[in-house]
Structure 1
């Protein structure tokens, strides 16, 4: 389960680029008038702090759940919810899941500076405040709630925030994202098609692994 926790934390962080907020961050970094390197460092640092905060919150909930002795039930629950997630992705209904709806002020994109990088990084690093692409973030939170020991939830939150910050800030990743946005796979952009494919593979693979263990 610990392995799946970090796989989903990283996958959720990477897939978050396929959102309006994610694409706006890429654009703001390109247009900033301050040092792009320093802007990226500030963004990554505060994004990591945001992920760590979420990890602490989930870790606390994880610790409380352990007192209810739910070990016999968490695997069937995870499998059932993962099957539901597969259905939501297949029918393009992932938007029904709980998600934040923070709207990025246009001035943050127009006048991107260090303060913007700090605010934006912290908000996106927390994850639950902004919209999420698909179900991977929800998978990460679900696995994190039942992982053992509880401090792994904190470590996974740190990992989520740091990877999310790096995905938006590293130049070669930004150029790859722009290329994927220009290509189409049926009715999706190549970026969305890759995210959906990764979701199906991870969800089905996780169900198999949980059954085997």
Structure 2
């Protein structure tokens, strides 16, 4: 069960990350790059996947150390409590209280989008924790990865996060949908943010109920 939730949240967090300044800048760089767009996207996706693998391996180390302690008998309870906290943070618009990076992508990476910037940008965004994240889905993914049934699942989840994040930003169809959602507003938010919030509530609440009923 936790394995399925882990990969579900890893993919969801990767998709939700488009609702950030860095995510939107990536979309712009892909649209404006002067090099071959397909090659640019490939370099970005591969680098993003590598970045996710680095984070996944680091979390896997923590996972392995925790597996040696008695704490592993309390994983479900910890996840339920933290997911409830995440829901409250989203409800009160306080997700910014959670730890997050604040790396700002240099403007020249956007103006001069080439293979080097694609590789650097991809690796940084694939790692996830260096840049700001939208909402709590990334933190939910990290929490589940820490408590994954095996350390190598944390590695695979990191690869999944990086690959999905890179791929989502590289697909023209996704870019057009994102731009469309940004142009519409709902309850003082962009439709993009509103959709992300609804998905977050559904995933977090559904996961709590699933764990309780299992």
TM-score range, shorter chain: over 0.9
- The corresponding residue for 1:100 is 101
- The corresponding residue for 1:208 is 209
8 A Cα contact 2:47 2:122, kept in partner: yes
Offset at 1:203? 0.3
Offset at 1:187? 0.7
Structure 1 gap ranges (5+)? none
* Alpha-carbon distance in 1 for matches of 2:47, 2:136: 24
What are the within-5 Å matches in structure 2 for residues 19-30 of structure 1?
19-30=20-31
**Other structure's SS at 1:131 match:** coil
Please tell me whether residue 14 in structure 1 is matched to residue 26 in structure 2. Answer: no
* Alpha-carbon distance in 2 for matches of 1:151, 1:32: 36
Structure 2 gap ranges (5+)? none
What are the within-5 Å matches in structure 2 for residues 1-213 of structure 1?
1-213=2-214
Offset at 1:150? 1.4
* Alpha-carbon distance in 1 for matches of 2:211, 2:59: 21
* 1:62-92 superposed Cα distances (whole Å, 9 cap, x missing partner): 0000000222211111111111100000000
**Other structure's SS at 1:133 match:** coil
Offset at 1:193? 0.4
* Alpha-carbon distance in 2 for matches of 1:76, 1:106: 44
Deviates more, 1:9-18 or 1:148-157: 148-157
* Alpha-carbon distance in 2 for matches of 1:153, 1:32: 33
* TM-score of the aligned structures, taking structure 2 as reference length: 0.98
- Structure 1's consecutive aligned runs of 4 or more residues displaced over 2 angstroms after TM superposition are none
* TM-score of the aligned structures, taking structure 1 as reference length: 0.99
* Alpha-carbon distance in 1 for matches of 2:52, 2:73: 29
**Other structure's SS at 1:72 match:** helix
* Alpha-carbon distance in 2 for matches of 1:76, 1:188: 33
RMSD: 0.6
**Other structure's SS at 2:72 match:** coil
Offset at 1:186? 1.3
* Alpha-carbon distance in 1 for matches of 2:31, 2:131: 21
* 1:186-205 superposed Cα distances (whole Å, 9 cap, x missing partner): 11101000000000000000
Aligned length: 213
